[in-house]
Structures are given as C-alpha cells and as structure tokens.
Amino acid sequence: MAVNLSKNGPALTAAYKEVVNEKSDTNWALFTYEGNSNDIRLAEKGDGGLEEMVEELNSGKIMYAFCRVQDPNSGLPKYVLINWTGEGVNDARKGLCANHVSSMANFLKGAHVTVNARADEDVEPEVIMEKVAKASGANYSFHKETSSRFQDSGPQGPVGSVYQKTNAMSEIRKTNKDTFWAQAEKEEERRRLEERRKADEERQHLEKERKDREVKEAALRDQRDKEKAVQIEQQKKYQQQQEAERREQDKQRWEAASLISQRAMNPRDMFKQRERGITPSDSNVPSAAPASPQPAPVCRSLYVKTPLRWRFCSFAALKNIYFRTQINQILWQVEENNYEVTAEETPDRGICARALYDYQAADDTEISFDPDEIITGIEMIDEGWWRGYGPDGHFGMFPANYVELV
C-alpha cells in the first residue's frame, strides 16, 4: 500500500519548510509511521544538528530524517535525507515500507545526500559529513591554498599529527548496542528453552493422564467381566437347582401316582359306607387288633402335599377318627341332609389357624383356602389331617402342615 502523507500533511509540510529555511533555527526533522499503519507523522524536530538528530533514531522503527548541514568545502547549506530502518523491525514490515522511499524523497525535495542506514555506524556525523564533502564537487579552498603557498607567512606553527579525536558518544552507543544484542540473543535462547521445557512437561502430563485413564478403564472392564461371570455362574447354579427340584418333584409325583393306582378301594368311600351301615369286605379293612404286632398299612389315597415330600396317614388313625360320635354326626349332616354347618352356627371359634399355602378341596368333605386366610373351629383329628371351618363357612378336612395355629 502507498504511503499516506495527507492525514498529517500540514504538520509535515511546516516541519519541512522550517528545515529548508536558512533563517530558521530548526535544522532537522524526523518522520515516522503511526503504529503499523502507512500514515506518516512528525516524530521530532530540533536545532542541534546531526549529533542531536542521530540520538532520536529508534532501532525498532522505520524513520525518515531530513537535516540541514554546512558544506565543509564551500560553507553553503546542504540537505541530507536519511532512510532509517532499525534492526528490530520485522522483515514483512521492511518489505512493505521499502516502496515508500521514493514517495518520501519526492516529498522531502532538495536533498543533496541520501543515506540508507540500518545501524548506528551508518549515521555517524563524521561519515555523513564526509559524504556531503564528496558530493559538493569542486574544492573552493584550492585558490586560497595556492596563494598562500607563495606568500611569506613568517614562522610556521607546530607540525600537525595524525591524531583524531575520539567521539565518546559514538563509542558508548556502539558498546551498548553490542551488549544489547548479545543480551537479547541470550534472552531469546532462554525463552526458547523455557517454551520447549513447558511443552515437554505438558506432553508428559497428557501422556500420564492418558495412561492413567486407560488403566482405570481396563480395571473397570475387568470388574464388569468378573461380575458378569459371577452372575452367569449364579444363574447357572440357580437353573440347575430349579431343574433338580423339578425332577425331584416329578419323581415324587410319579411315585405317588404309582402308589395310588395300586389301591383297591378309596378310603373316603369306605368310611362313608361304614357311616351308612354298609360293612366293607374284610379284605379292604384292616383288623382292629392284629394277632401279631405289625406296622399299620399306609393309606394310599389320603395324603398331604408339602414342597419336597408326600406324607401318608395310617388306616388305624383314620378308623379311630371316623368312629368318633361328633364326626359321625357331622358326616351325616353333610352326606344325608346336604346341610353345611357354618362357623357362625358354632358356639365359639375354637382353635384357629392361618393358612400358609393355598389348598383346593378334592371333594365336598374338604375345604379350600388361600394364603393368610383363617380356619376356625379346628379339630386335630390326626397328625396329618385336621378338620375345621373354612373362609366360606364350609366344614371339612384340610392338611395340617398347610396352616399354622394362631
């Protein structure tokens, strides 16, 4: 982009005119950019000549200096234009501002000497004045020297020497510049090492976090696998146990069915016939007092189911039960008169029990009930079979191990 001289145009023009005006005390002006833009502004001006102007040059900026000096040969005023590019300016900015040199030369017209400077050595006052002397052309002191050569000037002064006065400020600036750049390089190297160290630490920290995360995830996966394996093993054991129980129950049912199929007569029918006065054959009813003590035969029809086994009652126990007067009276009411005795008709509730399991009556001589229902008026007629009033008021038999006394 082109340089912009119009934004601060009046101030730039005024400073330039003060420098070219020989009657003005101002003999130098310094111009630079506003920030990183292309707008030119007046940086500084003064009347101290080259020595003062050089002190204002900044190594981190691009500047344009215009100075009025006196020609050492002719004594006439000469104008010097210095294009200053500091060593601290980045290369992109240098390349962009290189196209502005010609525009600044057209604005600062009348320069006899143009100096492109990058370091303090390029703007030493002696160096600039030497360039001004070379650019002035003819040596105006030639005639004075030749005329004085043939004149008798009397005794000659002391012979001069080759000694040259040292510029203390120039030497100090040169030393400071070398020290500054050496220190800047060291600081830059330290900065790079610190950044590299921080990057390594960050990379190691991220790597450690990644490894820790992978270890935790692996531990969680192993734990889930173990828990799943334990659940599968427990499920297998439970299924095997269920299957074993089912087989055992099937086996027991099959054995019970086999025993029932071998019975000659239903004991319930036998007892009903006895109540009605019908005497069964001696082959079907066991003797009340056998000649020799033998175990009573097992009733193969009146049994009680439990979760894991079948229980049977003896004929002797059933015979004693059914010959009791109260039971005969109740059976007569149920069988002959088709009349059910309810719990409300009993003088009191008598012995009560709570059902533990559900039971469905096999016929009208038994009662049905569900878990937690109450059976009242219980008569413990046998170890395995009791009689009582069911929830519906019906009086009948039920398995004793299906209830608990309350």
Average pLDDT over residues 380-395: 89
For residue 285, pLDDT over 80 is answered with no
For the chain, the average pLDDT equals 76
pTM over 0.85: no
Q: Can you give the pLDDT at residue 121?
A: 87
User: What's the rounded Cα separation, in Å, for the pair 69 and 81?
Assistant: 11
For residue 306, pLDDT over 50 is answered with no
User: What's the rounded Cα separation, in Å, for the pair 318 and 288?
Assistant: 12
| Residue closest to 52 by CA, chosen among 123, 132, 136 | 123
Q: Percent of the chain scored above 70 by pLDDT?
A: 67
Residue 303's pLDDT band (cuts 50, 70, 90): very low
Domains present along the chain, CATH in parentheses: 8-135 (3.40.20.10), 353-405 (2.30.30.40)
**CB within 8 Å of 41: residues ≥ 6 apart:** 7, 8, 11, 12, 31, 32, 33, 34
User: Hey, what are 173's tokens?
Assistant: 């600036």
| Residue closest to 268 by CA, chosen among 213, 206, 216, 331 | 331
For residue 157, pLDDT over 70 is answered with no
